[in-house]
Structure 1
């Protein structure tokens, strides 16, 4: 077993997939608890215990810095075990990262979801700005001179 296996108990671990990260909490003995999420057939899976190999799918496993943790590793693992079998996965509101963050800090949050939400909000603001600018530009008759800038005076 690699060095990770010796140091991952109660830690927030993750793998990098093509466009997202998948999260779990190390529970020792070569095992991880994770929210299975969408499996091969795109059906949501429950919180379950799997091997490190199954969790990693052959990819490198990373340990997330957990400076903001509220619960020590033993308590975090107990919290993870308390949710085994839960089957309420939601990509936006109850995913694998939400689960692990709750286990170690008591906070139900996902930085991935926050980043996507911020990106969508930023895109929406840009679209509104573009729409207003287009309306103003298109509403100006072609034979009418555009307002001059102060530096043009």
Structure 2
């Protein structure tokens, strides 16, 4: 039973990506943690017993925790000038759903939405600024595509959050177990711009998530639709 729980825990850590984190000071002897990277006052640490990793700041405050793959990318983003990178799949968590787009750089996002809100009578693919895209949300996330393959996971821009909503397995995970093509940032942006002005929105077959994932991977899919169908 104990062995089964340990195995299940390791699988959860590997699959979970950026896990909910409460910023708190790490004290006492940390026997099973080793530094992997250090830059700009941040330290990326790995747990010697599993694939668990965490990021600490210069005051030993935990800023993030999750799988090593996810924490490596979040570390690189936290120590850089900007959390966002051109070609990112970016999203915001609304009350009942996630809204997606493609970050193209210089504070601009291409997404599938109405000009004044996510939904409306005039939905098209158009370019907006980051503030307009976030539209009052507390933070945003980018999709992390693990080096080892598998489904993308959210990396939240926040370092202090209690939950990562709408993260559950389903057909979405099965689809992305197969090897998919990951387009370069330049090609991702090119693909997004090629569909500017499109007005063929469909909630279940061609929504904002379908669009953003297609730009990055060539796979037109929506985890949110998958979840609704599984429920």
Question: Normalised by the size of structure 2, how large is the TM-score?
Answer: 0.47
Count of residue correspondences: 118
Give, in angstroms, the shift of residue 43 of structure 1.
1.3
* CA apart distance, 1:58: 2.1
| Aligned-partner SS, 2:187 | helix
Relative contact order (C-alpha < 8 Å, sep 6+): which is higher?
A: 1
Structure 2's unaligned 5+ residue stretches are 1-77, 150-180
Do the aligned residues in 2 keep the contact of 1:70 with 1:105 (CA within 8 Å)? yes
Query: Could you tell me how far apart the structure 1 residues matched to 2:123 and 2:219 are?
Result: 22
Between structure 1 and structure 2, the one with the greater Rg is 1
Determine which structure has the larger helix proportion and give its number. 1
| Distance in structure 2 (CA, Å) of the matches to 1:4 and 1:24 | 21
Q: Give the alignment of 1:99-110 within 5 angstroms.
A: 99-110=211-222
Report the alpha carbon displacement of residue 66 of structure 1 after superposing the two structures with TM: 2.5
Question: Unaligned stretches of 5+ in structure 1?
Answer: 120-153
SS at structure 1 position matched to 2:86? coil
1:3-54 per-residue CA deviation (whole Å, 9 max, x = no partner) reads: 7856321001000000000000100111000001595573141000000000
Structure 1 segment 131-142 matched on structure 2, within 5 A: none
Q: Is residue 2:176 matched to residue 1:64?
A: no
Q: What SS is found at the alignment partner of 1:7?
A: coil
Contact 1:35–1:99 (8 Å) recurs in 2: yes
Q: Is residue 14–residue 62 contact of structure 1 (8 Å, CA) maintained in 2?
A: yes
